[in-house]
Amino acid sequence: GIQVEQSPPDLILQEGANSTLRCNFSDSVNNLQWFHQNPWGQLINLFYIPSGTKQNGRLSATTVATERYSLLYISSSQTTDSGVYFCAVEYSKTSYDKVIFGPGTSLSVIP
């Protein structure tokens, strides 16, 4: 089956700093999404981005499907950005495990 990896596993930032989170996947995928899970456990869908670049405020994401990676950029980080960031891929080459999440990047933004 497909492997989804994320790096770094943990990240500590000073408020105002920028960061790049990476998601690598081992096979071609149909779709890719980024999610944020805040410290209270709530999951929020950030981007649907199977290819190309999208921006939403201080967040942007780029997926290079041919090279099997996606990047999530956080600019001017704020303490409310803290939490875990997951990428998830939709994969169709097996009967099961059609949606695979990566292990996440745990981000702490300190004032």
Binding site for another protein (CB under 8 A): 30-31, 33, 35, 37, 41-45, 48, 50, 86, 88, 90, 96-104
State the Cα angle at 76 between 103 and 38, rounded to 5°: 40
- Give the number of other CB atoms < 10 A from CB of residue 95: 6
Q: Letter for the amino acid at 46?
A: L
Nearer to another protein, 12 or 99 (CB): 99
Nearer to another protein, 13 or 29 (CB): 29
Nearer to another protein, 17 or 62 (CB): 62
